[in-house]
């Protein structure tokens, strides 16, 4: 029998990662380029800023949920339940999840800062985070930093998702973990 609370935590963890990764990927490859259909560079920036700043709430909640469920689950175990390879994977996940949270926070603050660079967030843009020749220097630098940060954030989230899958497979194959899991809530 699968522990209900632990199973619920794993589902919420995975849903948080999926929403954060999927939304960020959609924004990078679909939303940002799509604003080019607008003739005005200012409208492009306004639409991109409004969309990203709206998604930031969902992204923060999703990644926050993934981080909280990971920390709660991790706090319930001593580490003696796993072998040294799995321990290395857990530490790698800690680092990548921490980076994901930090990069997400940086993007939230960067997005809010960028939107304040022009009335109603209408910062001139070619695409979502590609500045024009008329984009003010501070806004252009912010856009470039957020673009790079978004790519790195996608990579860290992909790493967290991959390690989560590996850890789940290792847990399913571990006799020691099967014994411990019977006592989890």
Ranking 6-15, 120-129, 136-145 by mean pLDDT, the lowest is: 6-15
Which residues, including other chains, have CB under 8 Å from residue 56's CB and lie 6 or more apart? Answer: 107, 108, 111
Which residues, including other chains, have CB under 8 Å from residue 143's CB and lie 6 or more apart? Answer: 114, 123, 125, 129, 130, 131, 135
Say what the pLDDT of residue 101 is: 97
CB atoms within 10 A of CB 151: 12
Nearest residue to 132 (alpha-carbon basis) of 32, 41, 30, 29: 41
Counting the structural domains of the chain, the total is 1
- Give the global pTM: 0.86
* CA–CA distance, 141 with 122 (Å, rounded to integer): 16
- Taking the CA of residue 40 as centre, how many other CA atoms within 13 Å lie in the half-sphere pointing to its CB? 8
Say what the pLDDT of residue 1 is: 44
Mean pLDDT score across all residues of the chain:
89
Say what the pLDDT of residue 76 is: 74
> Can you tell me the mean pLDDT for 79-88?
80
Q: For residue 26, give Cα distances in angstroms to 6, 39, 103, 106, 123.
A: 30, 22, 17, 19, 21
Say what the pLDDT of residue 73 is: 82
- Domain of residue 93 covers 4-181
């Amino acid at each position: 029998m699968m522990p209900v609370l632990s199973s619920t935590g794993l589902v919420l963890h995975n849903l948080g990662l999926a929403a954060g990764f999927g939304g960020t990927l959609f924004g990078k490859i679909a939303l940002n380029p799509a604003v080019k259909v607008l003739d005005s560079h200012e409208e492009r920036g306004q639409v991109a800023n409004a969309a990203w700043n709206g998604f930031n709430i969902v992204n923060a909640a999703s990644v926050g949920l993934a981080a909280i469920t990971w920390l709660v689950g991790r706090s319930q175990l001593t580490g003696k339940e796993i072998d040294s390879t799995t321990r290395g994977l857990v530490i790698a996940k800690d680092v990548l999840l921490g980076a994901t949270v930090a990069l997400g926070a940086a993007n939230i603050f960067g997005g809010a800062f960028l939107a304040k660079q022009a009335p109603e967030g209408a910062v001139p843009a070619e695409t979502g985070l590609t500045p024009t020749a008329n984009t003010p220097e501070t806004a252009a630098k912010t856009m470039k930093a957020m673009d790079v940060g978004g790519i790195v954030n996608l990579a860290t989230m992909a790493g967290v998702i991959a390690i989560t899958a590996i850890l789940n497979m290792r847990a399913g194959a571990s006799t020691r973990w099967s014994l411990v899991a019977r006592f989890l809530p």
